[in-house]
């Protein structure tokens, strides 16, 4: 998979200058410098490690710096089976991340509980935090992970700077008991 060259945003050019909107510049910067926080609990974590390796090289997409501190990350990648006892920790990690923040659920277990339809397994992380992109599979291939990352990049590139202050966004967070 070849990463695309970033296209110049819409703007006005002249002799020695280029002017565009602040939204466009911030969107390009955000989308090409995502810092993922990998929350890996099982086999999907191994696929993420393969995605980080030289063959697939997630660094081509501006995500070469995995952050293991939620305060320095803007993309939470939840991978693998999440037990119900672990749900409060996942939510706490999400809450410690600064805005804007995105969530990628990777693998059948993080998306829907997978094959573990039992009392102890959370049937999808979207029951505790909002999810932006789902990457299905058991485990998903590294190409799927890269496609999911590119979808998050597209969201980051096109998101308005003021969307996070909207009533709709506040209502979404309130539906997850997040203030």
CATH of the domain at 52: 3.40.50.12280
For the chain, what percent of residues have pLDDT higher than 90?
40
pLDDT, tens digit, for every residue of 19-56? 888 888 888 888 888 899 999 888 888 888 888 888 88
Of 161, 164, 165, which is closest to residue 21 (Cα–Cα)? 161
Q: Please name the residues in contact with 141: beta carbons below 8 A apart, sequence gap of 6 or more.
A: 47
pTM score, whole prediction: 0.85
**Number of domains present in the structure of the chain:** 1
Domain extent, residue 163, equals: 33-176
Going by the annotation, the residues of the binding site are: 43-44, 109, 138
For the chain, what percent of residues have pLDDT higher than 70?
96
CA distance 20 to 13: 9
Does pLDDT of 89 surpass 90? yes
DSSP string, 29-78: HHHT---EEEEE-SHHHHHHHHHHSTTT-GGGGT-----SSGGG-SEEEE
User: Can you give the pLDDT at residue 164?
Assistant: 78
- If you average pLDDT over residues 8-28, what whole number do you get? 79
Going by the annotation, the residues of the binding site for [4Fe-4S] cluster are: 43-44, 109, 138
- The reply to whether 19 falls in a domain is no
- Contact call for residues 145 and 110 (beta carbons, < 8 A): no
- The reply to whether 108 falls in a domain is yes
Does pLDDT of 148 surpass 70? yes
CA distance 17 to 87: 50
Mean pLDDT of the chain, nearest integer: 87
Top pLDDT among 104 and 25 is at 104
């Amino acid at each position: 998979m070849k990463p695309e060259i970033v296209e110049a945003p819409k703007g006005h050019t002249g002799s020695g200058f280029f002017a565009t909107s602040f939204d466009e510049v911030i969107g390009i910067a955000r989308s090409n410098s995502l810092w993922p926080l990998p929350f890996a609990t099982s086999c999907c974590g191994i696929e993420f490690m393969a995605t980080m390796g030289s063959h697939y090289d997630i660094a081509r997409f501006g995500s070469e710096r995995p952050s293991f501190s939620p305060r320095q990350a803007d993309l939470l990648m939840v991978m693998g089976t999440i037990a119900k006892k672990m749900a409060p920790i996942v939510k706490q990690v999400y809450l410690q991340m600064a805005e804007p923040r995105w969530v990628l659920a990777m693998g059948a277990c993080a998306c829907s509980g997978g094959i573990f339809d039992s009392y102890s397994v959370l049937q999808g992380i979207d029951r505790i935090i909002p999810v932006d992109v789902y990457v299905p599979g058991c485990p998903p291939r590294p190409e799927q992970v890269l496609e999911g990352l590119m979808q998050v990049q597209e969201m980051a590139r096109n998101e308005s700077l003021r969307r996070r202050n909207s009533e709709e966004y506040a209502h979404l967070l309130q539906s997850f008991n997040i203030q």
